[in-house]
Structure formats: structure tokens, C-alpha cells
Structure 1
Amino acid sequence: MTTSDRSDSLDQIDAVETVTDAITGLPRPLLLVFDCDGVLAPLTDHADDSVLNDGVGADLERLSEASDVTVAILSGRSLDGLAQFGFVDSIVVAGSYGGERRGADIEELSPAEQRLLESLDAIAVDAAETAGPGAWVERKPTSVVIHVREADRDLGARAIAEAWTRQSGLDGHECHEGSNVLEFMARPTDKGRGLSALRSEFGPSGTVYVGDDVPDEDAFAVLGPHDISVKVGPGSTIATHRLADAADVAALLTSLARRVDGG
């Protein structure tokens, strides 16, 4: 099945063992990269309530200890937001679409970037007020995010639309729209650039990326024809495979961990 055929199929779900076979058939060394929310942890109304599915942390650790496998998390969350999951040190953790990296200092914003971030923050605050109760603003080192998942649906949609219009009057930033969120980045990056940086650093022969939301399509797009991309959940995608939900991802990790180390 071609990529375009997969995108147009009616959310065809692959069996976990089918995806396991595809991944274990890749040449080593192997780079396994995962989004977090909706992939390793079920989606929740508020990010602070999110937890990894049972067994996920242990299976990721087991995979990361293999000599020819690198395991990485590439999330839109900040590093502070990812800390709650307790990923072990053998796992590479990149937050803010790759703009932050555990164990590395982030470059301070320039005066121009700081002014831009302040302007974007003001738009985000107004959007949260428009959306009303349940909406909130998340602040990261180089970006600001409007969350409306817990707000009234119509008011939330209106708030996002108005914020989108207002940001178009500014220059030098990028926007990422996800499921009931809109992020303004004063220092532009995306998951495609984040994944490319990981691949450049670790030089894998095979790469796997697993994600569930619109920003993950940027990561899928930088993979080669012999890599593996896995979309989690419904929705149009360019990914080569699809799993139903985070529970399927947990099963995939268990299957991979058994195969990789022969357990």
C-alpha cells in the first residue's frame, strides 16, 4: 500500500504484531522515537493528570538498554511537563518539539524573540478569556500554548479562530495547531526538525516514529522509504502504519522489548 493509499483508507488499523514485524525487520542501529500524550499515555483533559499506560515505562527502559537501539521521546510538552513521567536516563528526552533537550541548556531568547513571545502571550491570554472556564495558557521557554479542551466547545473554537487571526499580524514565529490546542512559537521549530536533529546525532540505519496528532505529520514527512511511521488513532495521515490507541502502543512496546533482547 502506498502512502497516499494509506492516507485515504478509512482509518485502517494494523495488528500490533504486523507493526512489530515491520519494526524488527529494520536494519540496526535503530532509533525509536515516540510522542508522549495520546501515544505512551492516554489523552486527558488536563496534562497534569496524564500517566503512562501500565508497563510502558519498563518496556521503554528495556528497549533503551539494547546496545544497538536508541529510544527517544519527542514531545510538544516542555521538559518540565515531561518530568512527571519519570523517563529513565537511558532514554533521550526532547521537549518543545525538539527545542529543549534533557541535560542541555537552552539558548536564551534574544530581545526580539522575547518581545515577540510577550505579544503572543497577550493573544493567548485573551483567547483563554474568550473561551471561558476550562481554558488555560501554558508557558514554555520559547512558546505559549492555548488549551481549550475543557472549555465550552463553541467558545473554544471561537477563541482559537480569533487567536489565529490575530497572530497573523506578527512576524518571525510559527504556529502549531493540535487537538484543542494552539501553540505560538517565538523560536520556530517543529517535530520534523526535531526528528531530523535526532537522526543526525545518532546516525541510525532505521528510524521509527510514533505519533497521534497533527504536529506529528511533520515528523512522518522527514522519514525515508525504508523507515517506519505509525499513526495512533483516527485521522488523515501520511504514516505507513496505524494503531488504534495508546493501549495498542503499550502492546507494541511489550512485543518489541521481547523481540529486541530475545526475552
Structure 2
Amino acid sequence: MEPSPGDPGRPRRTGPPPARQRVRAARSPDGGRNRGDRARPASEGLPGVTPVRYDAVETVARAVCHEEGSLLLLTDFDGTLCEFQTDPEQVALSPARRQLLASLVEHPRFDVGIVSGRPLGDIKSRVALDGAVYYAGLHGCEIEGPHNAATAPINDAELPDLAEAATRLDVIAAAVEGAFVECKRQSVTLHLRATTTEDRRRAESRFHDDTRDLLARQRLRLQPGDCILELLAASSWTKGDAVIWIRRDVERRRATSVRLVYLGDDQTDEHAFAALGSDGVSVAVGPRPSGARYRLPDPPAVEHLLGRLVEDITTA
């Protein structure tokens, strides 16, 4: 793996400025009061819908801490540590959640890392933790640890297709109120969270029509997400690659094996869940279908879990 080229800075954004749109904070299904203390369905009372069963925070905490030894806690950012916002620039880590993470970072049993689709420089500035923290940006393409760093190489043949994709997505975004395009080093993303349901469906249909030939060239790959459609360079790494790299680095530094815990809400996090191994603890956040072993409802429940882990290490 090649050394990281450094902080790429903030991504380019095109389309209507999201700052002008009304931002509405996400809420948990029970109005924000429930913190995941009991199992509950995500679709309770809806006819014809199979309920999603959430695990109690205590159940997940026991799964994490039931064995002695070193733990590597990795977590997604948007939708897991923080509630979604219509404008991604407005997403912020709360002081309470930052302090809980800091307490885990300071404990000798834990290593902590953030694995995000945001560029490395962006996620580092938003999390802003002191100490030996791992950061992985661009879905694992940029990784920085306390002593080592890595970045996925990009094939020069993929760059023209990324540029062409950005041009096509700009046209789609210009025709849809609330849509905008985000260009990163190895991807281009169409954001649709601030659009109406009808406009979103039209934009998604046009996206698939307008990018079919680009994907057929096999130099880009499609990564759908929560109200986003992202095209990445085919050679780019995944969050699963980041999990493997970080685990090896931690085990090399500690000179012992570590047990992995990963929390994530997005389809991109499935690559990370698959990389954990049989002894890992995978935790999906929200109702999206997932192969994770455990499930919590929302970021407030994740905050409660972090608090429970801090309680466990301080009373042990």
C-alpha cells in the first residue's frame, strides 16, 4: 500500500446550495426518548410490514465486553454517530458523544477508529479526537493511523470516466430542486436527501439511464446509499479493506490479536461487517436490511451503547 498523499481538503459541490434548504434533524422512531434499552420494532403498527427487531443496548454491550482482551471499535459517522441532515455540511458530532469516544480512546483495552465515506480531512476535522485514533475516509480509500497511513492507488484510465460522470450528474442535479453533486478524489456522488419523493424517483431513474454506458466500461462501480447514488473508481478500496488494514496495524502495534466491533448504518458498511471474522461484533444501525449480527435503532442508541461501554471499563 502506498503512503497517504495527505489531506485532500473539502470536496467540490455543485447544484443548489443545500444551506438554503430547511434542515430537519432526524429523530428516533419514538420521538427521541428511547435509547435502545429494549427490543422494539421499527415498523410497529404498520399493516403488511414485517417488523425489524432491535437489540437492547445491554445485549450488545455484553457481546462486546464478555471476553477479556484488546478491542478494536470501528464506527461509521453519518447515520451512526450522528443524525443525518439534509445538508451534509451541517452534520456535527455532539460533545457528549465525542467525550464518550475520547474515554474509550484513553483506555488501554480499546483502539478506536472512524470509517466514513467522507474525505479523510473532512472526517478528521468533524470528529477531532486526540490520541491514537484511526481514520478511514472515502469508504476506506484513505487511511490514517497513529503511526502509519495508506491510500488506494487510482488507475489513470478511470479518471476520464469520473470526470464524465461528474458532468452528467451535474445535469441531473440542475434539474432537481434540492439535489447536488459531490466530487471526491475517487468518486462522484449524487445527493438526493433534500428532494421530494417524486423528484428523487425521477432523478434515480435518470441516473441509471445516464450512467449505464459508463458502468458497462467497468472502470467505475455503483455504490448506492441512503438518499445518495455514488460512482467510484473500480480500483478503489472498500470499508472492508479498511477494517482489515486497521486490524493488522493494531495487532502489529500491540503484538497481540484484537477483537473487532463495527457499527454502521449504510450499505457500504456491509463490506466491513463481512471483514470482521467469526469473533467480531457487527452492529447495524437503523432498519435497513443487513447481515450484521446485532441491530440498534438510531444514533442516540449508539450513544447509549458507548456510554455503557465506558461504564463497563471504569467499573471493571
TM-score by length of 1: 0.88
1:25 to 55, 58, 66: 66
Determine helix, strand or coil for the equivalent of 1:196. helix
* Structure-1 residue corresponding to 2:221: 174
* Structure-2 residue corresponding to 1:258: 311
Indicate conservation of the 8 Å contact 1:53/1:247, yes or no: no
2:282 to 221, 229, 245: 229
Looking at structure 1, the residues matched to 68 and 167 of structure 2 have their Cα atoms a distance apart, in angstroms, of 48
The verdict on how the C-alpha distance between 1:193 and 1:105 changes in structure 2, with shifts beyond 3 A counting, is closer
Amino acid at match of 1:157: R
Looking at structure 1, the residues matched to 132 and 65 of structure 2 have their Cα atoms a distance apart, in angstroms, of 20
Amino acid at match of 1:167: T
* Structure-2 residue corresponding to 1:4: none
The verdict on how the C-alpha distance between 1:120 and 1:93 changes in structure 2, with shifts beyond 3 A counting, is same
Indicate conservation of the 8 Å contact 2:154/2:236, yes or no: no
Pick the structure with more helix per residue. Answer: 1
Structure 2: 5+ residue runs without aligned partners? 1-49, 252-256
With CA pairs under 8 Å and 6+ residues apart, which has the higher RCO, 1 or 2? 1
Alpha-carbon displacement from aligned partner over 1:217-236 (angstroms, at most 9, x marks no partner): 22112222221111111122
2:243 to 188, 191, 195: 195
Alpha-carbon displacement from aligned partner over 1:175-204 (angstroms, at most 9, x marks no partner): 211111011112422222222222232234
Give the RMSD, CA atoms, in angstroms. 2.2
User: What count of residue pairs does the alignment treat as equivalent?
Assistant: 255
* Structure-1 residue corresponding to 2:34: none
The verdict on how the C-alpha distance between 1:13 and 1:109 changes in structure 2, with shifts beyond 3 A counting, is closer
The verdict on how the C-alpha distance between 1:192 and 1:164 changes in structure 2, with shifts beyond 3 A counting, is farther
1:71 to 93, 112, 127: 112
Looking at structure 2, the residues matched to 92 and 168 of structure 1 have their Cα atoms a distance apart, in angstroms, of 36
* Structure-2 residue corresponding to 1:91: 133
* Structure-1 residue corresponding to 2:298: 245
The verdict on how the C-alpha distance between 1:219 and 1:108 changes in structure 2, with shifts beyond 3 A counting, is closer
Give 1:109 shift. Answer: 4.4
The verdict on how the C-alpha distance between 1:59 and 1:109 changes in structure 2, with shifts beyond 3 A counting, is same
Amino acid at match of 1:135: A
* Structure-2 residue corresponding to 1:3: none
* Structure-2 residue corresponding to 1:154: 198
Structure 1: 5+ residue runs without aligned partners? 1-8
Looking at structure 2, the residues matched to 92 and 135 of structure 1 have their Cα atoms a distance apart, in angstroms, of 32
Give 1:89 shift. Answer: 4.0
TM-score by length of 2: 0.74
Alpha-carbon displacement from aligned partner over 1:66-94 (angstroms, at most 9, x marks no partner): 22321000011112331233233422111
Determine helix, strand or coil for the equivalent of 1:169. helix
Looking at structure 1, the residues matched to 268 and 156 of structure 2 have their Cα atoms a distance apart, in angstroms, of 27
State which structure, 1 or 2, has the greater radius of gyration over its C-alpha atoms.
2
